């Protein structure tokens, strides 16, 4: 019955649509929302690997008003929101029917459909038997798609590349159709071919004529699609139901705009605003902006963008600093309000003999040369206690770090794993200071008197008075030379949960 309902068109319709293609490092939330704003009917997320997604937890992010799927190392693997829920397709890389079903069930209530990538020719996908490697294993294709169609309530689709012969391609898509999928996207190139090779419209046309489900034509960005009007030209040339755009949309997502394309400058500004609003990874943001710049990436603007390391610095390059500061302040205020209204996510908990809190060290929240470890060390000295001792663990599989600090004869730890040993120790210090109700040196925090040796003044240190200078010299003689905040640390490796690169899938 479920298969029959899907074949009758229950759920997302794939007929007569303009679609944003799945693109690694491009198809994150800001790009998807921008494409929808410009007129795209359906947007695909970037390919996400089933092994990584299966370990994720679904987390409602009340601050950003998103749903996040978070890996054990606290990375957000997939972020979505209400605005795209009825039009976003989750694409996964998989070679295992049961694992695919596990992931599909995890995300099905937050997306409009689920797609299986069967076209990516990149090694990181094919070496696991995923992507275009599946094209040579039709039995596995059938098993994966049938399992998904019968196992979830949302439409299931797949995206393939064409096979060396037209006959083999048609034979495969007919077999795929019998699984009950709602649509099939066809990239009109063979797995060995690249964008410089012409797209095979005749293959896509033969597929469209051989099946009764919607066929989505893909691969026309270089040869045909350069403007909104070209989308219909490509659809007519292939006889497909819909058209999927990759590189043309990556360069300027307003290709979907019926009223005509916007300037790249306007599009980049709109993209950055979404990236700030939804706290997009700055390196992902920078990558997408570089793709939009294209041959101007070596221009003065491109070089300034390349040098930017944070979202704030990216905003500065494009004259959006005021927007960044305003939006960041709004998000911080919303977070504070949620905590005030009873959010107990950062309430200390006792786990065995360790007091834990889910806190993360964010370098941008502290002035230059000021850190939680420094504050904890100064507090310990003031109270005439032993200096803090940090014991750090590293997970073998994803190389993430977690640290436990012993201070005042008690142990404290953040439950979140960090990307470096230094950040893990700082997070442990944050957990300790917050549990004790002590200042930690955050920007905007009222002066505590614990650490007065260094003050922020336009990223420069103010001169020290005679008393401060004497105190500083005494501290430097007492603490290891590497840094004033350095304390006793131990590291061990532990087993843990596991966790590349742009291509169109």
Residues catalogued as catalytic: 120
Q: At what angle do helices 282-293 and 300-307 cross, to 10 degrees?
A: 170
Sign of the CA dihedral 295, 301, 305, 306?
positive
In this structure, the number of other CB atoms found within 10 A of the CB of residue 399 comes to 14
Burial class (CB in 10 A: 0-12, 13-18, 19+), 253: buried
CA 217: distance to chain centroid? Answer: 27
Structural element, H or E, at residue 355:
strand 354-357
What are the tokens at 218? 């893909």
Cα separation, 217 vs 236, whole angstroms: 10
Residue from 19, 42, 18, 14 nearest 182 by CA:
14
% helix, strand, coil for the chain, step of 5:
40, 20, 40
Instruction: Return the number of other C-beta atoms located less than 10 Å from residue 493's C-beta.
Output: 11
Instruction: State how far the Cα of 418 lies from the Cα of 354, in Å rounded to an integer.
Output: 18
Query: Any idea which residue has 């570089």 for tokens?
Result: 290
CA 292, 296, 300, 304: dihedral to nearest 10 degrees? 30
Q: How far does CA 329 lie from the centroid of its chain? A: 22
Record the tokens describing residue 230, joined without a space.
Answer: 């070209």
Q: What are phi and psi of 209, to 5 degrees?
A: -80, -15
- Distance, CA of 278 to CA of 270 (rounded, Å): 13
Q: Is 214 exposed, middle or buried (0-12, 13-18, 19+ CB in 10 A)?
A: buried
């Amino acid at each position: 019955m479920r298969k029959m309902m899907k074949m009758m068109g229950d759920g997302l319709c794939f007929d007569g649509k303009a679609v944003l293609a799945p693109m690694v490092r491009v198809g994150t939330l800001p790009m998807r929302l921008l494409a929808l704003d410009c007129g795209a009917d359906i947007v695909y997320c970037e390919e996400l690997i089933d092994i990584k997604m299966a370990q994720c937890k679904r987390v409602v992010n009340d601050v950003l008003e998103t749903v996040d799927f978070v890996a054990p190392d606290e990375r957000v693997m997939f972020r979505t929101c209400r605005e795209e829920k009825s039009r976003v397709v989750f694409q996964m890389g998989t070679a295992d029917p049961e694992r695919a079903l596990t992931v599909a069930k995890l995300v099905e209530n937050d997306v409009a459909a689920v797609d299986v990538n069967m076209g990516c020719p990149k090694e990181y996908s094919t070496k696991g038997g995923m992507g275009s490697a599946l094209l040579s294993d039709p039995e596995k294709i059938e098993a994966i798609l049938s399992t998904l169609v019968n196992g979830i309530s949302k439409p299931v689709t797949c995206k393939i590349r064409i096979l060396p012969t037209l006959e083999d391609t048609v034979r495969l898509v007919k077999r795929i159709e019998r699984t009950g999928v709602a649509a099939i996207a066809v990239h009109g190139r063979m797995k060995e071919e690249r964008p410089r090779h012409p797209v095979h419209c005749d293959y896509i046309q033969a597929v469209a004529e051989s099946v009764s489900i919607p066929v989505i034509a893909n691969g026309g960005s270089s040869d045909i699609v350069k403007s909104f009007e070209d989308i219909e030209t490509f659809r007519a040339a292939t006889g497909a139901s819909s058209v999927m755009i990759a590189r043309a949309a990556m360069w300027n997502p307003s290709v979907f705009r019926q009223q005509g394309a916007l300037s790249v400058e306007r599009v980049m500004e709109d993209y950055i605003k979404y990236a700030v609003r939804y706290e997009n990874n700055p390196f992902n943001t920078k990558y997408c902006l570089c793709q939009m710049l294209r041959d101007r990436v070596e221009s003065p603007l491109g070089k300034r963008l390349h040098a930017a390391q944070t979202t704030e610095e990216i905003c500065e390059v494009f004259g959006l600093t005021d927007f960044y500061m305003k939006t960041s302040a709004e998000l911080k205020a919303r977070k504070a309000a949620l905590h005030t209204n009873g959010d107990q996510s950062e309430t200390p908990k006792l786990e065995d003999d360790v007091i834990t809190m889910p806190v993360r060290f964010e370098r941008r929240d502290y002035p230059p040369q000021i850190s939680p470890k420094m504050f904890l060390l100064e507090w310990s000295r003031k109270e005439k206690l032993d200096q803090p001792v940090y014991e750090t663990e590293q997970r073998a599989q994803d190389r993430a770090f977690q640290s436990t600090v012993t201070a005042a004869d008690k142990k404290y730890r953040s439950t979140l794993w960090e990307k470096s040993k230094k950040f893990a120790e700082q997070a442990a210090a944050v957990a300790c200071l917050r549990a004790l109700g002590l200042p930690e040196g955050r920007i905007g925090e009222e002066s505590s008197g614990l650490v007065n040796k260094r003050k922020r003044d336009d990223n420069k240190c103010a001169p020290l008075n005679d008393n401060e200078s004497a105190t500083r010299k005494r501290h430097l003689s007492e603490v290891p030379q590497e840094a004033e905040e350095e304390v006793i640390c131990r590291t061990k490796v532990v087993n843990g949960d596991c966790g590349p690169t742009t291509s169109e899938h």
